[in-house]
């Protein structure tokens, strides 16, 4: 059985003369957590944005659930995108809405649910990510960084997505909050069965949650494989990244945990 959910072939992305991706190939498989890493500016966020429809691609093809995105009508494309949950790196919540309203918003916009029912589901999603019912009425500004990330995750899960896109979800969190977020992600993936496209710089996250890791370098995916195979790849950036001081610390921590 073909377990491919997203299949990217010969993708090209550019901004003017700045070619960000060229001949980039990558797959995301059913139920997996795929970590996407690479140096700053290598195009991890642009890749995410082109899959979720925020950046038109310049060449190549992206197939999602077997459908070629660039051949779909606007309505068909919207139906595909409804199966995505996205957590962006920067401020994922509306500051003028409380948490319950923030999470209910996609439900009100994309389903025939009444506001009351949407807010009821929003409270269930808050519980799912480990937030106390009393948090429902709080405004984003009153929350810790870890709580904001959890609430943003609850919003990304509002429409029960099949694919979750996370852009550096643990950036800016202290190590304990980051580790709790990683565990939450694993628990939810196991319970709900979605697959995850996870852009991260966090080595601990790679070691803790990712089934496979894709390295973007020189405008393409250099390697996409298990962490052990990626770390053993003969490439200067990969060797520096995985076997430099931070990489060694993350390996050590992962070994201690098993
Ligand atoms: N809207 C845009 N207009 C012009 N250039 C852009 C735009 N968005 C991204 N770029 C360029 O695309 C390249 C890749 O950017 P991107 O944000 O995807 O990198 P990244 O790998 O996610 O980096 P980081 O790890 O620092 O977040 C960069 O050269 C960036 O300047």
pLDDT in tens, 2-30: 799 999 999 999 999 999 999 999 999 99
Q: Is the shortest distance between the CB of 219 and ligand 1 below 6 Å? A: no
DSSP class of residue 37 equals E
Q: 183-213: per-residue pLDDT in tens? A: 999 999 999 999 999 999 899 999 999 999 9
Q: How far is the CA of 203 from the centre of ligand 1 (A)?
A: 21
Structure tokens at 42: 């290598």
User: Quick check: helix, strand or coil at residue 20?
Assistant: strand
* 13 Cβ inside 6 Å of ligand 1: no
Q: What is the pLDDT of residue 89?
A: 78
**Ligand 1 and 38: CB distance under 6 A:** yes
Distant-in-sequence, close-in-space partners of 234: CB < 8 Å, separation ≥ 6? none
pTM of the model: 0.93
**Average pLDDT value for residue range 51-63:** 95
Helical H segments across the chain, by residue range: 44-51, 74-81, 99-110, 115-128, 145-156, 175-192, 203-209, 227-231, 236-243, 245-257
Is-contact 5 197, C-beta < 8 A? no
Question: Which residue lies with its CA nearest to atom 3 of ligand 1?
Answer: 15
Q: Please report the pLDDT score of residue 1 as a whole number.
A: 59
Q: Report the distance separating Cα 38 and Cα 217, nearest Å.
A: 6
Q: Which atom of ligand 1 is nearest to the CA of 89?
A: 27
Q: Which residues of the chain are in CATH 3.40.50.300 domains?
A: 4-83+163-257
Residue of 13, 14, 41 to mutate, ligand 1, most atoms within 8 A of C-beta: 41
In the three-class reduction of DSSP (H, G, I as helix; E, B as strand; rest coil), residue 208 is classed as helix
- Of 177, 172, 174, nearest in space to 150 by CA: 177
Q: Is 20 touching ligand 1 by the criterion CB < 6 Å?
A: yes
Contact 205 CB / ligand 1 (< 6 Å) = no
Residue owning tokens 């937030």: 131
Q: What is the pLDDT of residue 172?
A: 86
What are the Cα distances from residue 241, in Å, to 20, 77, 88, 110?
21, 37, 24, 41
Q: Which fold has domain 4-83+163-257?
A: Rossmann fold (3.40.50)
According to the model, what pLDDT value does residue 251 have?
72
- Give the ligand 1 atom nearest the CA of 46: 18
> What's the confidence (pLDDT) of residue 46?
96
Tell me, what's the pLDDT at 258? 66
């Amino acid at each position: 059985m073909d377990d491919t959910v997203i299949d990217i072939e010969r993708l090209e992305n550019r901004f003017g003369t700045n070619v960000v991706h060229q001949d980039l190939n990558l797959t995301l498989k059913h139920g997996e957590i795929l970590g996407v890493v690479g140096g700053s500016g290598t195009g991890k966020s642009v890749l995410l944005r082109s899959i979720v429809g925020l950046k038109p691609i310049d060449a190549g093809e992206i197939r999602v659930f077997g459908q070629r995105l660039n051949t779909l009508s606007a309505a068909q494309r919207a139906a595909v995108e409804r199966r995505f949950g996205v957590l962006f790196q920067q401020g994922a919540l509306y500051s003028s809405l409380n948490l319950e309203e923030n999470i209910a918003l996609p439900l009100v916009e994309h389903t025939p649910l009444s506001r009351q029912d949407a807010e009821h589901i929003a409270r269930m999603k808050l519980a799912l990510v480990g937030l106390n019912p009393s948090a429902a009425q709080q405004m984003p500004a009153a929350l810790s960084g870890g709580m904001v990330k959890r609430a943003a995750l609850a919003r990304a899960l509002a429409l029960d997505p099949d694919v979750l896109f996370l852009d550096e979800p643990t950036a800016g969190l202290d190590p304990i909050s980051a580790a709790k977020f990683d565990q939450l992600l694993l628990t939810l993936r196991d319970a709900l069965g979605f697959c995850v496209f996870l852009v991260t710089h966090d080595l601990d996250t790679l070691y803790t949650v990712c089934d496979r890791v894709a390295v973007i370098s020189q405008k393409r995916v250099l390697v996409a494989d298990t962490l052990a195979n990626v770390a053993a790849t003969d490439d200067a950036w990969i060797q520096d990244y995985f076997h430099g001081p931070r990489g060694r610390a993350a390996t050590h921590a992962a070994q201690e945990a098993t």
